[in-house]
A and B are shown apart, each in its own frame.
Chain A
């Protein structure tokens, strides 16, 4: 199972919106509505942000939103803040109780 493809880095100024893409195949992202997104600050464990494509987990700001079209999922962060600077990973259920993560995107707040 190949990793989902994410841009290596995305940057934006405070207050701006950015979108991180996550491209898979018709066997994972395109087939299942079980895409999740994780935020990871340096030296910390990943934290769930979005599950089932677009549902925000408890406590996550509504500045974070998820969507999917075909084989591509996206995470949008609006009103970018300094604390959003982190690595972000998408993950998709890939069938037969297996999962595949994205390559990861480093978000920089300029």
Chain B
């Protein structure tokens, strides 16, 4: 059974950093692209970042480019999101999600983790 479990959320002051993790199980992690998607309280979904299955290609939404870094450790079946220079508007639930199908670039998100809440506040 495919399972994604996020961790690392919490309350952080503006300008500080936080690293999220997503532990994957039940599938060949190294075969799938992985995403981070966030949802501000009471708001819609926003795609944040994608990392290719091998880890060499990374893509970001303009809203986080230059501040966030997506990475993965295929030996540990774990996805990461390093968030620097955090702002109040980064407050959201952060979900990790797997590509729906392996190896292809144009994809969809399936499944999703349960999410971890990040609150940026002084």
Contacts and interface: CB of A to CB of B under 8 A. Distances in A.
Given A89-B44, A101-B47, A48 B59 contact: no
Q: How large is the interface on B (under 10, 10 to 19, 20 to 34, 35 or more residues)?
A: 20 to 34
A97 B60 CA distance: 9
Interface in B8-66: 35, 37, 44-47, 50, 57, 59, 61-62
Contact of A102 (B37, B44, B109): B44
Contacts of A34: 106-108
Contact of B113 (A45, A57, A104): A45
A57 B108 CA distance: 11
B112 A47 contact: yes
Interface centre among A32, A38, A89 (most CB of B within 10 A): A38
A36 B44 contact: no
A104 B113 CA distance: 19
Interface in B102-119: 105-115
A52 interface: yes
Contacts, number: 67
A38 B61 contact: no
B44 A101 contact: yes
Given A34-B106, A46-B95, A96-B59, A104 B112 contact: no
Q: How large is the interface on A (under 10, 10 to 19, 20 to 34, 35 or more residues)?
A: 20 to 34
B108 A36 contact: yes
Contacts of A48: 100, 108-111
29 contacts: A34-B107, A34-B108, A36-B100, A36-B109, A38-B45, A45-B95, A45-B113, A46-B112, A47-B111, A48-B108, A48-B111, A51-B100, A51-B108, A52-B108, A57-B110, A89-B44, A89-B45, A91-B45, A91-B108, A93-B107, A96-B59, A97-B50, A97-B105, A98-B47, A98-B50, A99-B47, A101-B44, A101-B45, A101-B46
Interface of B: 35, 37, 44-47, 50, 57, 59, 61-62, 95, 100, 105-115
